[in-house]
Amino acid sequence: MALPRSVDVLKEIATEYGVCIRPLAMRRTDLDTGLTEVIDLPCGATREDKCPPCAKKNRRLRQAQIREGWHRDDEPLPGPKPATEAQKSLNLFRAHLEFSRDEAVRAAQWDQVADLDEAIREVEEAIAAEGLRGRVGPPHGSVDDDQDEEPGRRRKRSTKRRQDAPELPRRKIERRTVGKTYTAADGTTYRPSMWLTLTLDSYGPARPGGTPINPDRYDYRRAAWDAVHFPRLLDRFWQNLRRCEGWNVQYAGCVEPQRRLAPHAHFAIRGTIPRDVLRTVAAATYHQVWWPSVDVQRYTLDRPPVWDEQAAAWVDPDTREPLTTWTEALDAIDDDPDAEPVHVVRFGAQVDARGVMPGTEDAERAIRYVTKYITKHTGDVHKVATDRQRAHLDRLWQQLRITPCTDRCPNWLLYGLQPKKAHAKLKPGRCKGKVHQRDTLGIGGRRILISRDWSGKTLADHKHDVRAWVRALLGVTTDGMQPVDGQGATAERVRHAWELARPDDPDVGPMTHRLMRSISERARWRAELLAAKDRAAQGSPDLSATQHNGQHMGEERH
Ligand SMILES: [Zn+2]
Ligand SMILES: [Zn+2]
């Protein structure tokens, strides 16, 4: 039993060589010859516990993206290139999945819908890996809480500023995204940038290890709601800052938990902004949540409301009275002239901002800092070492379990309300929403936040850059994932159809074989790459310009 399992050893070697350990098999059919071939695409996981090589590669790409955008001095306005055949056929396949999903929804085959959603996610990753920018379509099941049940009818909400929020100056926003350049007396020019940290308010006095001094008086409810709505607050901050500064300020940053487990955010900002402006905007920024009241928890997880098949509604377990519907609850808020938002999120007083000069070790350190934890789950960022920390994490999680995440969250039942689109299968306290999970600690949204005009490129573009660079070095000229057949490789484009292959399809083969093939390929490929680099170093100057990128982003190991 002490001997290691061979599949584990293979995975270890694969990890060492940067080969994906849970590849996604895609079947590619050559439409001219009818030949099919199964190609392993990397899974593209961003977390180490799923696939360390993919997570590491993703981190390197993010670092490259941040590095490239931070101190740039020209406006990023790239023109798109025409799509390749491979890209078109992947998009066609994506369209087929969309059609099937729609059919499944009509037939109420929910298990199939879930499968198809998973397939759609996978194909979209493949599309991204092919070097296309943006999503084909918005993800399904996205919830926009500003939209009401009846289309066309939009609710009026109070948007009047609260008394305690200072007014901000407003300027017309220029299209500029690049910061100012400063010239010193000797003619040297500087284009400094900024590093900014935004935190949330205090929920009660804490010890150095992040745990509350008095757990009973620590405001877990506010902590949970603040965490859930933190992404919206950040969005507002950037809107307000751009309006106040009058130019299209760009940022790249991350959301991570502090020791006390509340989210905070670090940002690299292109250009400089006076520190007091950043502080004023942070202090003035808030996000109001216009949901029904959660002051009274009317039901517990042990004794929740029950579904009444005949009434097609959730009812009180004792009186069988139907609970208030979502529409009724929102109507009540609209009709009440004194209604207050159920929650208002604001930043805490601690706003750290400092200047960073391009090309310095300080700038590199900041980039590493932004990407430091992205391969880990939020819940694993800080080691839980003491009983006190364990208890703190558990109390926060218990609170998150019963916090409503969206207007469709089953948790509304606990507060005597039927959520929007209520149905029989709701399970309060068991919502699958990301914010409720122990490994997210309320940080359910994107952890890396990069503004649209940061580098003028998406992550997929940066992936594409890496491939283009490697191909240039190896002299591969096709647009495929590997050099085409032995026929001498004219750059002729082949028409291909793609489909997802299932792991048990006869042409897919056992995972161990697939891993071995990929490892061998990668080993050969790495040797070739090293040799090509040596040749490049000895002569051809045209590659040296891009070599810098490659060293940081290339798929070789460090
Ligand atoms: Zn992978
Ligand atoms: Zn939920």
* SS3 sequence of 327-357: HHHHHHHHHCCCCCCCEEEEEEEEEEEEEEC
- The amino acid at residue 209 is G
Average pLDDT for 413-432: 94
Higher pLDDT, 180 or 524: 524
Residue 123 CA, distance from chain mean position: 17
Average pLDDT for 457-485: 55
**What's the 322 CA to ligand 1 centre distance in angstroms?**
48
Average pLDDT for 409-420: 96
Render pLDDT for 292-325 as a digit per residue (tens, 0 to 9).
999 999 999 999 999 999 999 999 999 999 999 9
**What's the 293 CA to ligand 1 centre distance in angstroms?**
43
**What's the 408 CA to ligand 2 centre distance in angstroms?**
7
Average pLDDT for 378-402: 92
Q: Report the run of H or E that residue 40 belongs to, with start and end.
A: strand 36-41
pLDDT over 70 at 68, yes or no: yes
Beta-bridge partners for 36: 29
Instruction: Determine the Cα–Cα distance for residues 539 and 417; give it in Å rounded to an integer.
Output: 72
Please state at what angle helix 6-16 crosses helix 52-70, rounded to 10 degrees: 10
Q: How confident is the model at residue 554 (pLDDT cuts 50, 70, 90)?
A: very low
CB atoms within 10 A of CB 543: 17
Q: Among 313-317, 332-336, 422-426, 541-545, which stretch is predicted with the lowest mean pLDDT? A: 541-545
**What's the 202 CA to ligand 2 centre distance in angstroms?**
24
**What's the 13 CA to ligand 1 centre distance in angstroms?**
13
Ligand showing the shortest atom-to-Cα distance for residue 431: 2
**What's the 388 CA to ligand 2 centre distance in angstroms?**
27
Residues with CB under 5 A from ligand 1 (ion): 20, 42-43, 51, 54
Instruction: Determine the Cα–Cα distance for residues 332 and 324; give it in Å rounded to an integer.
Output: 10
Q: CB neighbours of 310 closer than 8 A, spacing ≥ 6?
A: none
CB atoms within 10 A of CB 553: 23
Higher pLDDT, 544 or 370: 370
Ligand showing the shortest atom-to-Cα distance for residue 122: 1
**What's the 514 CA to ligand 1 centre distance in angstroms?**
13
Q: Looking up tokens 């002729």, which residue turns up?
A: 492
Ligand showing the shortest atom-to-Cα distance for residue 58: 1
Beta-bridge partners for 77: none
User: Using CB atoms within 10 A of its CB, is residue 186 exposed (0-12), middle (13-18) or buried (19+)?
Assistant: exposed
Instruction: Determine the Cα–Cα distance for residues 250 and 499; give it in Å rounded to an integer.
Output: 38
Q: Strand (E) positions, 332-467?
A: 343-356, 448-450
Q: How confident is the model at residue 353 (pLDDT cuts 50, 70, 90)?
A: very high
**What's the 84 CA to ligand 2 centre distance in angstroms?**
40
**What's the 493 CA to ligand 1 centre distance in angstroms?**
28
Ligand showing the shortest atom-to-Cα distance for residue 430: 2
**What's the 44 CA to ligand 1 centre distance in angstroms?**
5
Render pLDDT for 147-156 as a digit per residue (tens, 0 to 9).
344 444 555 5
Ligand showing the shortest atom-to-Cα distance for residue 44: 1
Alpha helices, DSSP H, located in 215-274 = 220-245
Instruction: Determine the Cα–Cα distance for residues 385 and 393; give it in Å rounded to an integer.
Output: 11
Higher pLDDT, 300 or 335: 300
**What's the 47 CA to ligand 1 centre distance in angstroms?**
9
**What's the 518 CA to ligand 1 centre distance in angstroms?**
12
Is there a contact between 41 and 26 (Cβ–Cβ < 8 Å)?
Answer: yes
Which one-letter DSSP state was computed for residue 459? H
Ligand showing the shortest atom-to-Cα distance for residue 419: 2
Q: How confident is the model at residue 491 (pLDDT cuts 50, 70, 90)?
A: very low
Is there a contact between 441 and 257 (Cβ–Cβ < 8 Å)?
Answer: yes
**What's the 410 CA to ligand 2 centre distance in angstroms?**
6
**What's the 150 CA to ligand 2 centre distance in angstroms?**
22
Q: Among 7-11, 13-17, 387-391, which stretch is predicted with the lowest mean pLDDT? A: 7-11
**What's the 50 CA to ligand 1 centre distance in angstroms?**
7
* Encoded tokens for 363: 């700038």
**What's the 411 CA to ligand 2 centre distance in angstroms?**
6
**What's the 175 CA to ligand 2 centre distance in angstroms?**
38
Q: Among 16-30, 248-262, 268-282, which stretch is predicted with the lowest mean pLDDT? A: 16-30
Instruction: Determine the Cα–Cα distance for residues 220 and 440; give it in Å rounded to an integer.
Output: 16
**What's the 14 CA to ligand 1 centre distance in angstroms?**
10
Tell me, what's the pLDDT at 150? 47
Closest residue by Cα to residue 414 from 308, 325, 304: 304
Higher pLDDT, 497 or 154: 497
